[in-house]
């Protein structure tokens, strides 16, 4: 079984997320939405299908990264979250929460050996296909 199949997001802390988003939009031309920016690419194993990477600045005092005190968090795309979580538990990896399910995928958070919180995501990319097609 494949474990991680790509990066689904990059999240980082900043003192002023709105100002940071404005700076990146103005100077680098990255189109922003309420959460940051989305980068669309093609799935290597299925080139006719899109995949999405979320780029999001968070307020410096966010508790979303806890228990990590790091300035960033990476979201990794995975194929089978339930199976992977069972394997990680068997390997002694710290699982921070229960798997949460949404229409756009399943999520869970783990900690690496350096104290970085990691978000694992089993995406449902078709939800984003519809959203971004309707919001162009």
CATH topology classification for 1-62+71-89: 2,3-Dihydroxybiphenyl 1,2-Dioxygenase; domain 1 (3.10.180)
Residue 19 in tokens: 């100002």
User: Do residues 77 and 93 make contact, with C-beta atoms less than 8 angstroms apart?
Assistant: no
Work out the average pLDDT over 119-135. Answer: 84
For the chain, domain boundaries = 1-62+71-89
Task: Count other C-beta atoms under 10 Å from residue 55's C-beta.
Answer: 17
What does the alpha-carbon distance between residue 108 and residue 129 come to, in Å, rounded to a whole number?
A: 23
Q: pLDDT tens across 71-101, in order?
A: 999 999 999 999 999 999 999 999 999 999 9
- Find the helix or strand (DSSP H, E) in which 17 lies: helix 17-28
pTM, 2 dp: 0.90
Does the N-terminal peptide bond of residue 41 adopt cis geometry, omega within 30 degrees of 0? no
């Amino acid at each position: 079984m494949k474990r991680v199949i790509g990066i689904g997001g990059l999240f980082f802390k900043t003192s002023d997320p709105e100002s940071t988003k404005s700076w990146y939009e103005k100077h680098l031309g990255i189109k922003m939405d309420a959460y940051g920016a989305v980068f669309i690419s093609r799935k290597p194993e299925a080139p006719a299908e899109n995949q999405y990477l979320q780029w999001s600045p968070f307020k410096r005092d966010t508790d979303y990264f806890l228990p990590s005190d790091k300035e960033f968090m990476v979201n990794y795309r995975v194929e089978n979250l339930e199976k992977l979580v069972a394997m990680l538990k068997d390997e002694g990896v710290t699982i921070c929460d229960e798997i949460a399910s949404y229409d756009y995928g399943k999520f869970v958070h783990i900690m690496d050996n350096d104290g970085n919180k990691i978000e694992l995501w089993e995406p449902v990319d078709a939800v984003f296909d519809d959203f971004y097609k309707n919001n162009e």
